[in-house]
Structure 1
Amino acid sequence: MTNILYIQASPRPEAKSTAIADAYIAALREQDPNIAVDVLDLAAERLPEFDGNKVAAKMAVIGDQDQNARQKTAWDEIISIAQRFIAADQYVLAVPMWNGGIPYRLKQYIDVIHQPGLLWTLDATTGYHGLLKNKSAVLALTSGAWGPSMPSPAFGIDHHSTYLKAWLNQAGVDIIREIRFQPTIINSDPEGSFKAAVAEAQELAMGIGVY
């Protein structure tokens, strides 16, 4: 059975990024009703602060040092949260652009799970190596003013898709597909553009399934 982790980054139930990702998931389920979809609603999820104990625990792992009791407790919490991410075969991320980047709850989640020995290793000579294997991702991306055809920086800068792809690549996910509804506000035909993005999501699901 294929396991999908569906990460919803917007706190708005009516978010267009979520609607586009929903269309993708629904099309996948039409092909295979047995697909397991784990929905991670970041607005409702309890995420721990990445505090001093967690930073110290991370640095102990990087330095191959023993963790003290508080650091070990913090690291165990990180592992328990990261395992949900690691267990998935495919990631579906519904992410609106916030101030050129990603919503803060998604950044918090990434800061918690993106850890040495869990998602990546670092070699002093060759650099970072992702530990995730045979996984893919689909990004449902929206933004109000910025779009691939809009002049930048006048209408914004894309620290949104670029950050997400760089993060996933560093973790070892190298098959990443994008579905864009951008821009959503400065758009001569927002309804038509949204419908086109939904159709693209459905076609993508029909074409690639979960692979």
Structure 2
Amino acid sequence: MIKCLVQSRFTRCLSWTGVRRQSMFKSGFEHLQHIKKDDSKTHILYLNAAHSPTSLVSHGARILLENLQREKAVEEVKLWTEQLVPYKIDHALSKLKLLRGEGTDEDKDRFAPVLTAAEIINSMDVVVVATPMWNYTIPYVLKQYIDIVVQPGINFNDSSDSSLTKNSGRILVVISSAGAEYGPGEEIQDFLNPYLKQVFALMGFTRFFPIFIQGTASRSKTDCLEWTEKEAKKCATELNKILEATSL
């Protein structure tokens, strides 16, 4: 379990040597050391925004992880209970100053925990998100996590010649639930899955596997559980094929 995203199990030194040119943000963070990982295992980040351990999305995530055959290392972030980096406007201002090459030592110290949390994403092969839908999109704790870790020059940029493109082809699984049903052409739309698909693809998680448990308000719990288990096992089978055929 990742503790606080400030003192993670991954240890590294952050070395600041200035900035380098990027496209959208004009510059990116230049760092010399990367998080080391055991390449013999599939590294999985489990972002848990479930309401409880017995919820449908928790059940789906548990079945999925249990049925992945390759040796794996799972790091779980319990978003409702763990203390995330208290990302505020001061962090954002320090980031912009650093990107312009105008950052002070105070800016570097303030932004260092954010930089560490952001680089953890680069060491992951698979991200599994378990979340209910809130107001047609994601709960605020999951959005807070995303706003902390998605950082230019560390885990994304919009330039096709970036060294970060080597991180593409990784896997994102989103296990989500909603009381209503959302189909094509409906006036009310699902913004949860499209948003997560887009933002994680930006960081190289371009293989997207949604398990969307819809209509929970009108279906029995037994029906929902059976459907979720079936879809989670089907997803695990697809992932096992990919993991066997790739270096993930």
Q: Distance in 2 between matches of 1:207 and 1:171?
A: 21
Report matched runs for 1:61-210 at 5 Å.
Answer: 61-62=98-99, 64-122=100-158, 131=165, 132-148=167-183, 151-153=186-188, 157-187=189-219, 189-209=220-240
Question: Which residue is equivalent to 1:41?
Answer: 78
Percent identity of equivalent pairs: 25
Q: Provide TM-score, normalisation by structure 2.
A: 0.73
Letter in 1 for 2:206: D
Higher relative contact order (CA 8 A, sep 6+): 1
Q: Return the letter of the residue paired with 2:177.
A: T
Q: 1:4 aligns with which of 28, 44, 49?
A: 44
Tell me the equivalent position of 1:17.
Answer: 57
CA distance in 1, matches of 2:225, 2:208: 21
Aligned Cα root-mean-square deviation (Å):
2.3
Offset of residue 61 of structure 1: 4.3
Tell me how far 1:15 sits from its aligned partner: 2.0
Of stretches 86-95 and 52-61 in structure 1, the one that deviates more from structure 2 is: 52-61
Say which SS state the counterpart of residue 190 (structure 2) adopts: coil
Shift of 1:150: 9.0
Q: Check whether the contact 1:53–1:70 (CA below 8 A) recurs between aligned residues.
A: no
Q: Which runs of 5+ in 1 are unaligned?
A: none
Measured at CA, do residues 25 and 79 of structure 1 come closer, stay the same or move farther in structure 2, by a change above 3 Å? same
Aligned residues: 200
Task: Specify the alignment match of 1:58 in structure 2.
Answer: 95
Q: In structure 2, what is the Cα distance between the partners aligned to 1:104 and 1:84?
A: 21
Alpha-carbon displacement from aligned partner over 1:43-101 (angstroms, at most 9, x marks no partner):
12211222122101222344x32312332112211012123322111111111100111
Stretches of structure 2 lacking an aligned partner (at least 5 in a row): 1-40, 244-248
Offset, 1:194: 2.8
TM-score, normalization: structure 1?
0.84
Q: Which amino acid aligns with 1:56?
A: L
Q: For the residues of structure 1 that align with 2:109 and 2:151, how far apart are their CA atoms?
A: 15
Question: 1: CA distance between counterparts of 2:212 and 2:75?
Answer: 22
Bigger Cα displacement from structure 2, 190-199 vs 110-119: 190-199
